[in-house]
């Protein structure tokens, strides 16, 4: 009999120790969870206070970052709580197994010698088991609450991301509209600059024609001695002198219709009328079968716009062209490509004169054709 009582006492002591350990572990877990729940709103409040003090232009970016940090912290907390819940369930299972084993021992002993002490211990064990079940349910409810908070945080983060995308799209549209306006203004500016250049060329052509006319009139009115001393010095002082290009360059292996010549002409100007007229004039110099009446009509109609001059008296064919304000590389292209091609024909001699423009960078080029007969 005393052996049975000792066995029962040892079972009760072991179950009580395990229950005490389980209660301590559960109480520690519940305290940690409560502390985390208390600390989370404090952190959120501190974050809200810190974000309110920041400028308005950085609020949207920091809201996304804080939402990501909170989401990560909540996920870590959920993982920790799930681990604690699994540990608690495992402890409960062990306690249930020990409880069943103890009940079996108690029933076995009660069959031999039933007593009130074993019944009271059995009732106490059943009460402890109920407490463990209640604690497990409480942990499950807390885990559900954390999951709900996590889902709310995810929804808020998705809404902030959507708003940020909408704002970015609006900014992109505004930037595109501004780029289109800038490109339009650039094209207008380019056209106006081209028109200003054409007007300057026309003005220079008219000024040169006026100077030549005034010089001719002064020569007719004044004696020959005064003509050689006065007007020539004034003209030399006002405009640079024309210098003849004596260097003969080799003749290229292509003709005037080659891509090289076309590229040079497009580099010179983008005006379609000028390009059409200069091509017709070059073709007439090289090939004498071009209709002079047709060329004469175009030259008389488009003389000012094409910046051509020096029309031969009594003929519609211009004996030369003047190309004002050429870049140095364009001038060299005319001298090395077009002039040698013009000199291939034997009916006319080609004279080339050039002078520096007033800015000291560009050049004026004059090409003349003189009959050899």
pLDDT tens digits along 298-314: 443 443 344 343 333 33
Among 182, 200, 226, the domain boundary falls at 182
Average pLDDT value for residue range 341-368: 90
Q: What is the pLDDT of residue 367?
A: 93
- To the nearest 10°, report the CA torsion of 307, 355, 268, 323: 20
Same domain, 120 and 250: no
pLDDT exceeds 80 at position 345: yes
Q: Indicate if 261 and 142 belong to the same structural domain.
A: no
- What is the 3-class SS of 184-246, one letter each residue? HHHHHHHHHHHHHHHHHHHHHHHHHHHHHHHHHHHHHHCCHHHHHHHHHHHHHHHCCCCEECC
Q: How far apart are CA 6 and CA 13, in angstroms?
A: 10
DSSP 318: B
Average pLDDT over residues 310-339: 79
Host domain of residue 261: 240-371
Answer whether residue 89 is part of any domain. Answer: yes
> Considering the entire predicted model, what is its pTM?
0.35
Please answer whether residues 5 and 105 qualify as being in contact, where contact means their C-beta atoms are separated by less than 8 angstroms: no
- Residue 365, classed as helix, strand or coil, is strand
pLDDT digits (tens, 9 = 90+) for 188-198: 898 888 888 77
Please tell me the predicted confidence (pLDDT) of residue 12: 54
Q: Judging by beta carbons within 10 Å of its beta carbon (0-12, 13-18, 19+), is residue 81 exposed, middle or buried?
A: buried
Per the model's pLDDT, the better-predicted residue between 267 and 221 turns out to be 267
Which of 158, 182, 206 is the last residue before a domain boundary? 182
Task: Specify the number of domains making up the chain.
Answer: 2
| Same domain (yes/no): 18, 94 | yes
Distance CA 368, CA 311 (A): 11
Q: Which of 259, 125, 274, 255 is nearest to 202 (CA)?
A: 274
pLDDT value at 35 more than 60: no
Is the pLDDT at 61 greater than 80? The verdict is: no
Instruction: Tell me whether residue 223 is in a domain.
Output: no
Residues of the chain with pLDDT > 90, as a percent, come to 18
Of 63-72, 112-121, 151-160, 316-325, the one with minimum mean pLDDT is 112-121
Q: What is the DSSP string of 227-293?
A: IIIIIHHHHHHHSPPPEE--PPPPPPSS-TTSHHHHHHHHHH---HHHHHHHHHHHHHHH-TTS-HH
Residue where a domain terminates, one of 137, 161, 182: 182
Q: Using 50, 70 and 90 to split pLDDT, how confident is the model at 229?
A: very low
Q: Choose between 115 and 78: higher pLDDT.
A: 78
Give the whole-angstrom CA distance, residue 80 versus residue 143.
10
Mean pLDDT of the chain: 75
């Amino acid at each position: 009999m005393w052996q049975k009582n000792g066995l029962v006492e040892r079972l009760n002591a072991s179950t009580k120790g395990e229950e005490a350990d389980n209660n301590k572990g559960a109480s520690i877990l519940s305290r940690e969870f409560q502390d985390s729940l208390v600390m989370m709103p404090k952190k959120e409040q501190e974050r809200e206070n810190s974000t309110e003090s920041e400028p308005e232009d950085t609020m949207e970016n920091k809201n996304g970052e804080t939402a990501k940090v909170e989401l990560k912290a909540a996920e870590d907390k959920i993982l920790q709580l799930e681990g604690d819940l699994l540990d608690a369930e495992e402890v409960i299972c062990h306690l249930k197994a020990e409880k069943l084993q103890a009940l079996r021992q108690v029933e076995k002993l009660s069959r031999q010698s039933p007593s009130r002490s074993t019944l009271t211990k059995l009732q106490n064990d059943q009460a402890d088991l109920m407490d463990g079940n209640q604690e497990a349910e409480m942990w499950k409810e807390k885990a559900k609450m954390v999951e709900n908070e996590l889902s709310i945080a995810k929804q808020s983060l998705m809404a902030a991301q959507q708003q940020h995308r909408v704002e970015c799209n609006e900014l992109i549209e505004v930037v595109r509209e501004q780029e289109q306006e800038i490109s339009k203004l650039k094209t207008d500016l380019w056209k106006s600059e081209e028109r200003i250049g054409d007007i300057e060329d026309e003005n220079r052509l008219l000024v040169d024609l006026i100077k030549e006319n005034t010089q001719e009139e002064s020569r007719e009115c004044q004696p020959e001695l005064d003509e050689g001393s006065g007007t020539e010095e004034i003209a030399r002082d006002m405009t640079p002198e024309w210098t003849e290009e004596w260097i003969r360059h080799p003749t290229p292996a292509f003709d005037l219709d080659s891509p090289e010549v076309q590229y040079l002409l497009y580099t010179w100007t983008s005006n379609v009328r000028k390009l059409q007229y200069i091509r017709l004039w070059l073709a007439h110099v090289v090939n004498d079968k071009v209709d002079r009446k047709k060329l004469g009509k175009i030259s008389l109609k488009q003389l000012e716009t094409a910046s051509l001059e020096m029309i031969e008296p009594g003929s519609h064919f211009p004996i030369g062209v003047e190309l004002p304000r050429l870049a140095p590389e364009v001038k060299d292209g005319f001298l090395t490509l077009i002039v040698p091609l013009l000199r291939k024909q034997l009916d006319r001699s080609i004279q080339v004169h050039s002078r520096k423009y007033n800015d000291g960078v560009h050049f004026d080029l004059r090409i003349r054709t003189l009959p050899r007969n």
